[in-house]
Each structure stands twice: as structure tokens, then as C-alpha cells.
Amino acid sequence: MVVVMTDIVTVSIACADEAEAQSLTGLLVTAHLAACVQSFEVRSTYRWKGEVDTANEIMLTAKTLMEKLPMLEKLVRQHHSYEVPEILATPVVWASLDYEKWLRESLTV
């Protein structure tokens, strides 16, 4: 199998609640910084300021291009309630041609 890298990435963003998730989703798609954003409920356990905590969160998975990451990060930081928001990009190794075409068209202003 040949591994082909694309410039497509998925970005994980944990949100405090549904309202924040919906707001960020709308901003990202409207600004052409994400072609699609999926959301789902998660339960996170983490260490914060020396204490172990657990929280119910909404996880966003945004589909975008590497070149969009700096502006995506800036927008998320401007509108996120967390002091240190989770913004993690994962490279996409392969995408179907029609999906990649749609994604690129969706990100064009």
C-alpha cells in the first residue's frame, strides 16, 4: 500500500458546552476556516493546576487545510472560554478525490 500525505487536517477542539460548540462551529464554517465540523459529547479527565478533574465537554472535529490552521487557531482562541483550549491538528493521509474537491471548494472564499 502506498501512503499519500495530503494537506488536509482534522482539528480537535474541546468545548465547555453546547452553546460554545455551536458558536465556534458557525464561526469556523462561515469564515471558510473549516469545510465541516462534527460535534459529539465526551467526558474528559485531566490534570489542571495540580488537581485531577473530570468534565463533560463537547468535542468538535473540524476538517480543514494546513494553511488555514493559523487563522483557525486565532479564531478559536478569541472566542473560547478555556484559558488553554484544546486545539490539536491531525494530518489526513488519504481522502477520496470527490471529498477532497468538495473540501477545497468549501474553504475557498
Tens of pLDDT, residues 14-57: 999 999 999 999 999 999 999 999 999 999 999 999 999 999 99
Give kind and range of the element (H or E) at residue 55: strand 51-65
- CATH for 8-95 is 3.30.70.120
Own/partner pairs, 72-78, CB within 8 angstroms, 24+ separation: 72/11, 72/28, 72/33, 72/34, 75/24, 75/27, 75/28, 75/31, 75/33, 76/13, 76/24, 76/28
H or E segment to which residue 73 belongs: helix 69-79
Residue 2, pLDDT above cutoff 60: no
Beta bridge partners, 92, equal none
Alpha-carbon span 105 to 109, nearest angstrom: 9
Mean pLDDT computed over 74-100 = 97
